[in-house]
Each structure stands twice: as structure tokens, then as C-alpha cells.
Amino acid sequence: MKIMVIGGGGREHAIIKKLKENKEIEKIYALPGNGGIAQDAECVAVGATDIKGAVDFAKSNNIDFCVVTPDDPLVLGMADALREIGVPCFGPSKDAAIIEGSKVFSKNLMKKYGIPTAEYEVFSDMESALKYAQTCPIPTVIKADGLALGKGVIIAMTREEAVDAIHSMMEDKIFGESGSNVVIEEFLEGPEISVLSFTDGKTVVPMISSMDHKRALDNDMGLNTGGMGTVAPNPYYTPDVAKECMDKIFLPTINAMNAEGRSFKGCLYFGLMLTKNGPKVIEYNCRFGDPETQVVLPLLESDLFTIMKAVENGELTEDLVKFSSKHACCVVMASEGYPTKYDKGFEITVDDGVDACIYVAGAALKDGKVVTSGGRVLGVTATADSLEEAIAKSYKAVEGVHFDNAFYRKDIGQRALKATN
Ligand code: AMP
Ligand code: GLY
């Protein structure tokens, strides 16, 4: 079996490492991969959104299966293009990926099918949006309709901030055409829970829950980032909450997508907020989360490739997906200054005996050395019998990973730990 994985972040590294456990797989190509992934797969210089490049590569290398990981190629239809040439894929069709690709679509879907989410209005002209912002409850949340590298959400704590956000999205186009339409929604409060799920469009099997840490600095201060660390499971996701989510959110979403003729096959990510009125959907993603994957897959005891094939073949069953009862913690090591300005090109070294898994996100190979090449450089994941031990173990491992200008949060998992105790 020859497999190709599209993408080049820490999440893709975690997927590749997990796939390698399957002995049926002889070869894994990463398009484009990165300098760290290069230790586990053959990296190919084809960009993650280059559909023609991926199709040509699959044809000329007799690829048997493809995992399309990031949101943008999925929303652009890469899985469809590969299936058209007979390459089975893990990843939704373009028609289904719209659940992440358009917030207007996903909000309207939830409203139509009674799936709990924040109240909202959609605007396609700035004047109406500005008028609404004069009277809507504050704080309020303004979201660009389309993909915006995970940055298209502005939480306005004052009316002035709301007005500024509308101007910057709809007039200054800070998120490009993604901001042509905006959703303005109710500000919700409560702990956030990430639940990734496998679904073949009929059966939905949630993976172990997790908690992301989106802000750059300790105590959830600083700018929003792509994620500075994660823990799994999420203590707020109790069996009662899980049941409520299954009945009111997960199954209704799968059914709604089928009813719309947009059957979803792949990993459907539910970004949830546990409000005092129960769990509500903050966002859907049409893919594995990053860095959630870096704590979820290390706890997966089943074979990932078997599950992925079952999803593609419409044969997913619950017994294919088993998680361990352990805990995982992933600390992201970033470049100082991320998410705004940072230097790169520093050599990354790892001490002997580091007892953790290192998932590389932003690194390149230069003169035979692995050097930093991005804001989020790598994630250090440890697993243990308790959350406390997993946190301690991953921070201990972090001390054995070195590069200049390294920066990381010191409090990953502390909120979860408090909730546990
Ligand atoms: P998103 O890109 O949709 O995940 O949003 C980024 C972050 O903004 C989320 O993880 C939440 O912390 C926050 N957020 C999004 N929507 C809301 C909302 N309606 N109320 C409060 N916070 C929100
Ligand atoms: N960690 C959030 C995301 O992957 O969108």
C-alpha cells in the first residue's frame, strides 16, 4: 500500500506516525510535509492546495489511498478530484466540506435542523451590519463567512469594537473575500470542548474529547493563535454531556447533511461550548483539529488506517474505534513573537532519552539540519495514567528540546486539572 497525506503541520505528523503502525502500508508520501515529517515520510514538493499536482502525483506513483487533511484543499474539492481518478480518500467531498468553508451555510444548517448554537444574523452589506451593531447585545461575535486561516472571528467587547470589526472585514477585507458576508452572533460563555469524530455519513463515532488552548500567553491572555497546547480527555465532557451531544448535535448534524444531499465522510470536528443552557456548537471543522490530533491519536488504540478505509467504504462501526483510558498533554513550542512577528532558521535539537512524542509543525531541512521555519514549531506530547502526570511528563520533555527563541505556555492543562479536582 502506498499512501499520500496532504498537508504539512503537526497534525499531519501525528496522522503519519499513527498510520505507520499499520504494516500493510509500505510507503507514505507527504505533500508537502515538512523538515520533521521527513523523518517519517517522503516529502514531495507539492503544495497542500495544488489539486492538479496531487492528482498527477497520485497517478504517476500508483497511490492506493489519500488522506486529505487541511481545510482549504477539502473546501476546494481535492478529495473529489482524487476519487474521480479512482484514488480512495479520507476526507469529505467539496459539497460536504462547506460545513467549515462557509459559516453562513453552517449557521443556517443548524437553524434549519434545530441544532443548538448561538443566535445570529447574516449580513452581505456593510450598512445593515453596522446598523445591527448599534442595537445588538454586547459583547458580540463577528465572523467572516469563509476560511480565514482560523482567524476570521472577532469578539467585540464594546460597540466600537463591533463597528471596527465590521469595517475591517467588509470594507478593508482583512480576511479577503472571506469577509464579503459576515455572521454576527450571540456571545456565549462556558468551557470549550473539542470533539473530533469519525463518520461515514451513516454512523458517527466520537473520538476522545480534548481541550485546546488558543491564546498565546498563560492564563488565556494575548492573541488568538492556531493553538498553543491541548489535553485529552476534556474533564467537562462527562458521560451526560456526551450523551446530550450525541442526541442533540452529532447525529442531527449527520442527518442534516444527508438531508441536504451533502453526506459527510471523514473527520467531523465539533467545536462546542458548554453553556448554562447545555452544549452548543461554536464551529464545525471538516477535518482533524490542530493541535487536538496531537493528543487524540496517541490515545487511539485501534488501527487508524483500518478506520479510515471503513469511513471511505461506508463500513464504519463503533467497535473499530477504541481509545485508551490514559491522558495526554501536548505543549506547543513556538517561535518567540508568534502569532505576529518572529525569526526563524534556528536549528532544532532533541536530547537523548526525551520521553515524549514530537510532532513537527514548522521546520525545514537545511544543510542536513532541521531548522525552525514557522510560528508554531512543534508539539511535545506525553501520555500517562493521570492528567497531572501527562502534564508533568510533557513539560519535562520540553526541557530536552532546544532551539533559539523557543516560546511556550507554562500552563497547558491547568484549567482542566482544576476542573478535575
Ligand atoms: P472559531 O474560529 O469559530 O473556533 O472561533 C475562535 C474562538 O472564538 C472560539 O474557540 C471561541 O473561543 C471564540 N468564539 C467563537 N464564537 C463564539 C461565541 N459565539 N461566543 C463566545 N466565544 C466565541
Ligand atoms: N484547534 C482548532 C482547529 O483546529 O481549528
Indicate whether 180 pLDDT > 90: no
Do the beta carbons of residue 96 and residue 80 sit within 8 Å? no
For atom 2 of ligand 1, the residue with the nearest CA is 150
Average pLDDT over residues 229-258: 98
- Does residue 311 sit in the same domain as residue 198? yes
Grid cell of 261 as nine digits = 444531499
CA–centroid distance, 103 to ligand 1, in Å, is: 12
Indicate whether 308 pLDDT > 90: yes
For atom 16 of ligand 1, the residue with the nearest CA is 282
Alpha helices (H) along 171-212: none
Indicate whether 147 pLDDT > 90: no
Is there an atom of ligand 1 within 6 Å of 283 CB? yes
- Does residue 349 sit in the same domain as residue 250? no
Indicate whether 151 pLDDT > 80: no
Tell me the C-alpha distance between 149 and 175, whole Å.
9
Instruction: State whether the Cα torsion 294-296-300-304 is positive or negative.
Output: negative
CA distances, 342 to each of 16, 56, 271, 359 (Å)? 28, 35, 29, 20
- Does residue 156 sit in the same domain as residue 262? no
262 pLDDT band, cuts 50/70/90, is very high
CA–centroid distance, 113 to ligand 1, in Å, is: 21
313 pLDDT band, cuts 50/70/90, is very high
Instruction: State whether the Cα torsion 109-70-409-216 is positive or negative.
Output: negative
CA–centroid distance, 204 to ligand 1, in Å, is: 24
- Single out the residue of 94, 106, 108, 28 nearest to residue 67, CA to CA: 28
* End position of a domain, from candidates 264, 295, 320: 320
CA–centroid distance, 408 to ligand 1, in Å, is: 22
Write down the pLDDT at residue 223.
87
Single-letter amino acid, residue 350: V
Question: In the chain, pLDDT over 70 holds for what percent of residues?
Answer: 100
* CATH code assigned at 29: 3.40.50.20
Look at residue 109 and tell me if it is in a domain: no
218 pLDDT band, cuts 50/70/90, is very high
- Does residue 334 sit in the same domain as residue 294? no
- Does residue 17 sit in the same domain as residue 50? yes
- Does residue 291 sit in the same domain as residue 229? yes
- Does residue 145 sit in the same domain as residue 81? no
Indicate whether 224 pLDDT > 90: no
Is there an atom of ligand 1 within 6 Å of 212 CB? no
Indicate whether 7 pLDDT > 90: yes
Write down the pLDDT at residue 51.
98
CA–centroid distance, 73 to ligand 2, in Å, is: 16
> What count of Cα atoms within 13 Å lies in the side-chain half-sphere of residue 336?
5
Tell me the C-alpha distance between 12 and 33, whole Å.
8
Look at residue 415 and tell me if it is in a domain: yes
Average pLDDT over residues 90-112: 97
Question: In the chain, pLDDT over 90 holds for what percent of residues?
Answer: 92
Look at residue 174 and tell me if it is in a domain: yes
Do the beta carbons of residue 309 and residue 3 sit within 8 Å? no
Average pLDDT over residues 202-230: 95
Q: How many domains does the chain have?
A: 4
Is there an atom of ligand 2 within 6 Å of 227 CB? yes
Neighbours of 257 (CB within 10 A): 24
For atom 5 of ligand 2, the residue with the nearest CA is 289
Is there an atom of ligand 1 within 6 Å of 282 CB? yes
Average pLDDT over residues 177-185: 87
What are the phi and psi torsion angles at 61 (to 5°)?
-115, 15
What are the phi and psi torsion angles at 371 (to 5°)?
-125, 155
Is there an atom of ligand 2 within 6 Å of 289 CB? yes
Is there an atom of ligand 1 within 6 Å of 148 CB? no
Write down the pLDDT at residue 78.
98
- Does residue 308 sit in the same domain as residue 343? no
Average pLDDT over residues 77-94: 98
67 pLDDT band, cuts 50/70/90, is very high
202 is in which domain, residue-wise? Answer: 192-320
Is there an atom of ligand 1 within 6 Å of 191 CB? no
Tell me the C-alpha distance between 357 and 285, whole Å.
25
Indicate whether 179 pLDDT > 80: no
CA–centroid distance, 193 to ligand 1, in Å, is: 11
Is there an atom of ligand 1 within 6 Å of 192 CB? yes
Write down the pLDDT at residue 226.
86
Look at residue 300 and tell me if it is in a domain: yes
pLDDT, one tens digit per residue, over 334-356 is 999 999 999 999 999 999 999 99
CA–centroid distance, 225 to ligand 2, in Å, is: 10
Is there an atom of ligand 2 within 6 Å of 100 CB? no
- Does residue 169 sit in the same domain as residue 233? no
Indicate whether 173 pLDDT > 90: no
Do the beta carbons of residue 30 and residue 9 sit within 8 Å? no
pLDDT, one tens digit per residue, over 396-417 is 999 999 999 999 999 999 999 9
Is there an atom of ligand 2 within 6 Å of 292 CB? yes
Write down the pLDDT at residue 108.
96
Look at residue 84 and tell me if it is in a domain: yes
Question: Which of 292, 297, 412 for a ligand 2 pocket mutation test, highest count of atoms within 8 Å of Cβ?
Answer: 292
For atom 9 of ligand 1, the residue with the nearest CA is 282
DSSP string, 188-237: --S-EEEEEEEE-SS-EEE---BEE--EEEGGGEEEE-S-SEEEES-TT-
Average pLDDT over residues 115-138: 93
Tell me the C-alpha distance between 417 and 231, whole Å.
10
- Does residue 152 sit in the same domain as residue 238? no
Tell me the C-alpha distance between 412 and 418, whole Å.
12
Write down the pLDDT at residue 420.
92
Look at residue 98 and tell me if it is in a domain: no
* CATH code assigned at 150: 3.30.1490.20
Write down the pLDDT at residue 6.
98
Look at residue 16 and tell me if it is in a domain: yes
Write down the pLDDT at residue 293.
98
CA distances, 53 to each of 350, 362, 364 (Å)? 34, 22, 21
Which ligand does the CA of 271 lie closest to? 1
Indicate whether 150 pLDDT > 80: no
Grid cell of 80 as nine digits = 473529489
Is there an atom of ligand 1 within 6 Å of 53 CB? no
- Does residue 281 sit in the same domain as residue 351? no
- Does residue 315 sit in the same domain as residue 198? yes
CA distances, 130 to each of 103, 142, 170 (Å)? 19, 11, 10
* End position of a domain, from candidates 265, 295, 320: 320
Structure-derived torsion over alpha carbons of residues 172, 174, 177, 181, reported in degrees to the nearest 10: -80
pLDDT, one tens digit per residue, over 318-334 is 999 999 999 999 999 99
Look at residue 116 and tell me if it is in a domain: no
β-bridge mates for residue 107, sequence order: none
For ligand 2, what atom is nearest to the CA of residue 283?
A: 5
For ligand 2, what atom is nearest to the CA of residue 292?
A: 1
CA–centroid distance, 239 to ligand 2, in Å, is: 23
* End position of a domain, from candidates 264, 296, 320: 320
Indicate whether 281 pLDDT > 90: yes
* CATH code assigned at 198: 3.30.470.20
Grid cell of 99 as nine digits = 460545513
Write down the pLDDT at residue 266.
98
Tell me what the pLDDT averaged over the chain comes to: 96
